[in-house]
């Protein structure tokens, strides 16, 4: 008798399928029970999380529409005409960035996680080299008094965006390598702290404090999730807070931003450091419950600076109201939660690097989205951070899509292992 006949005779096939379903539920995977109906073959678990991909594409498409809406009037202003010669200038460039990002994401999804783990330190070193190069006056491009971009002809690349993904990979790789000494503060924490501090110095030279805050949050989060002693974690947090406090205390520009944030309607700040914040609040206030209608924003008509980048949420609030803003918040909440679930699944399958890296990406997306939303709503001081997957920015959208593709790859390998195969 064949093996299939034996399994059918003793009903072991159905038992195995039920056990697989229970295991899938335990790991939080969508379960499609493998049952025979009318002689049909059993339904197998999907190869990847379709809902995750659909939510990401929805955010990208929503962002594309709103970037066009927020930037269409820039060609009418003589001050911005040289940056936006046609009403569709930013739309076409954003479409190009999305196209390049999707191609790179498809390529990244084909790379096994083991390869990312092997090259994680070198990707981090490469990102540091780019952060050094961008400070060179012959290489780096200055925009709004900040030297953050390397011109590539078809787009401007921002090395700090790659550094966010690189620090997630490097910190996960570091924790895997230092797992046996994570209770020893100096041996476990200081090397990582020095690496983050060096990256921070390079970012503050640009200057780009917002990116430094996100990178520090990613590194600290992975150290905590990797099992670093709680007392060590709080000591690191105290050092980071003290460092930021000293930077603010001795930097007039950042101190004025904090004072303007605390009292934005003060005549001293309302036409200066608080100008963006006050007009962002006006835009969101005008939106009320369902907004003024798509394309009907007034603040984007040369009142609110950077409406298509840092303050895209304000335009969403004015045109689509509370309903539009709430939709964006819910989508980001679901996306972050799903990314963390995939990370926990990987760790449960004894794939520590993959799990920590994915959770680091989740920290990156959630922290940057939270800061951007907080700035737009007046909850946090202005930081110059874009809304992930939505705001205009070629290098940002490219690296964001590659990061999501890596998460999808980890999820695919998790599902392959759960089916009894190999990653």
On whether residue 349 sits in a domain, the answer given is yes
115 shares a domain with 7: no
List pLDDT tens digits, range 82-99: 777 788 899 999 999 999
Does 300 lie in the same domain as 264?
Answer: yes
Of residues 46 and 251, more confidence is placed in: 251
Q: Is residue 234 part of a domain?
A: yes
Does residue 328 have a cis bond before it (omega within 30 degrees)? no
345 domain residue, yes or no: yes
Residue 238 has pLDDT above 50, yes or no: yes
372 and 390 co-located in one domain: yes
pLDDT in tens, 338-368: 999 999 999 999 999 999 999 999 999 999 9
Cα angle 31, 37, 40; round to 5: 90
76 plus 132 within the same structural domain: yes
- Both 125 and 7 in one domain: the answer is no
Is the pLDDT assigned to residue 18 strictly greater than 90? Answer: no
Shared-domain flag, residues 29 and 131: no
Are both 134 and 197 inside the same structural domain?
yes
Instruction: Give me the domain span that covers residue 153.
Output: 49-418
Average pLDDT value for the chain: 83
177 against 414, higher pLDDT: 414
* Under 8 Å between Cβ of 284 and 314: yes
What are the Cα distances from residue 391, in Å, to 63, 199, 367? 6, 24, 15
Q: 412 in a domain, yes or no? A: yes
Q: Considering the domain boundaries, does residue 60 fall inside one?
A: yes
For the residues 125-149, what does the mean pLDDT come to? 87
pTM of the model: 0.85
Least confident of 141-150, 226-235, 307-316: 226-235
* Most confident residue range from 63-77, 84-98, 237-251, 403-417: 403-417
Q: Are 184 and 65 members of one domain?
A: yes
**Are residues 126 and 106 part of one domain?**
yes
CB 56 within 8 A of CB 411: no
Residue 111 lies in a domain: yes
Percent of the chain residues past pLDDT 70, beyond the cut: 84
The CA distance from 387 to 395, in Å, is 13
Residues 208 and 319 placed together within one structural domain of the fold? yes
pLDDT at 159: 93
Total residue length of the chain: 423
Judged against a pLDDT cut of 70, whether residue 13 lies above it is answered with no
Position 188 scores a pLDDT of: 66
Of 22-36, 72-86, 90-104, 270-284, which one has max mean pLDDT? 90-104
Report the range of poorest mean pLDDT among 200-204, 318-322, 380-384, 403-407: 380-384
76 in a structural domain? yes
Domain count for the chain, please give it. 2
Q: Is residue 423 part of a domain?
A: no
> pLDDT value at position 148?
86
Q: What is the mean pLDDT of residues 317-342?
A: 96
Alpha-helix runs per DSSP H in 74-155: 89-108, 113-133
Both 238 and 119 in a single domain?
Answer: yes
Domain shared by 108 and 191, yes or no: yes
């Amino acid at each position: 008798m064949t093996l299939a006949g034996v399994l059918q005779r003793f009903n072991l096939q159905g038992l195995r399928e039920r056990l697989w379903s229970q295991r899938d539920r335990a790991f939080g995977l969508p379960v499609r029970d493998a049952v025979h109906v009318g002689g049909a073959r059993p339904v197998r678990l999907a190869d990847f999380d379709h809902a995750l991909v659909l939510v990401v594409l929805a955010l990208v498409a929503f962002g594309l529409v709103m970037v066009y809406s927020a930037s269409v009037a820039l060609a009418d202003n003589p001050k911005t005409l040289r940056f936006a010669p046609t009403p569709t200038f930013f739309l076409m460039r954003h479409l190009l960035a999305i196209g390049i990002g999707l191609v790179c994401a498809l390529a990244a999804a084909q790379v096994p996680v083991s390869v990312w783990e092997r090259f994680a330190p070198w990707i981090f070193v490469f990102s540091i080299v780019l952060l050094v190069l961008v400070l060179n006056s012959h290489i780096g491009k200055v925009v709004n008094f900040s030297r953050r971009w390397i011109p590539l002809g078809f787009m401007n690349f921002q090395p700090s965006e790659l550094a966010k993904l690189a620090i997630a990979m490097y910190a996960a790789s570091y924790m895997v390598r230092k797992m046996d000494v994570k209770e020893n503060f100096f041996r476990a924490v200081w090397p990582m702290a020095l690496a983050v501090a060096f990256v921070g110095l390079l970012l503050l030279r640009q200057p780009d404090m917002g990116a430094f805050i996100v990178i520090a949050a990613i590194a600290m989060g992975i150290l905590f999730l990797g099992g670093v002693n709680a007392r060590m974690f709080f000591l690191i947090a105290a050092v980071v807070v003290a460092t930021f406090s000293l930077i603010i205390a001795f930097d007039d520009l950042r101190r004025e931003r904090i004072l303007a944030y605390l009292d934005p309607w003060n005549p001293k700040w309302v036409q200066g450091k608080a100008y963006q914040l006050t007009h962002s609040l006006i835009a969101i206030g005008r939106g009320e419950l369902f907004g003024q209608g798509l394309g009907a924003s007034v603040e984007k008509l040369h009142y609110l600076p950077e409406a298509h980048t840092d303050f895209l949420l304000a335009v969403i609030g004015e045109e689509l109201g509370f309903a539009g803003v709430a939709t964006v918040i819910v989508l980001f909440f679901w996306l972050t939660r799903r990314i963390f679930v995939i990370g926990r699944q990987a760790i449960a399958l004894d794939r520590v690097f993959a799990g920590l890296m994915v959770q680091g990406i989740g920290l990156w997306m959630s922290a940057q989205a939270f800061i951007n939303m907080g700035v737009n709503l007046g909850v946090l001081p202005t930081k110059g951070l874009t809304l992930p997957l939505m705001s205009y920015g070629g290098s940002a959208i490219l690296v964001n899509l590659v990061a999501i593709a890596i998460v999808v790859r980890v999820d695919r390998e998790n599902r392959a292992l759960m089916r009894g195969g190999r990653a």
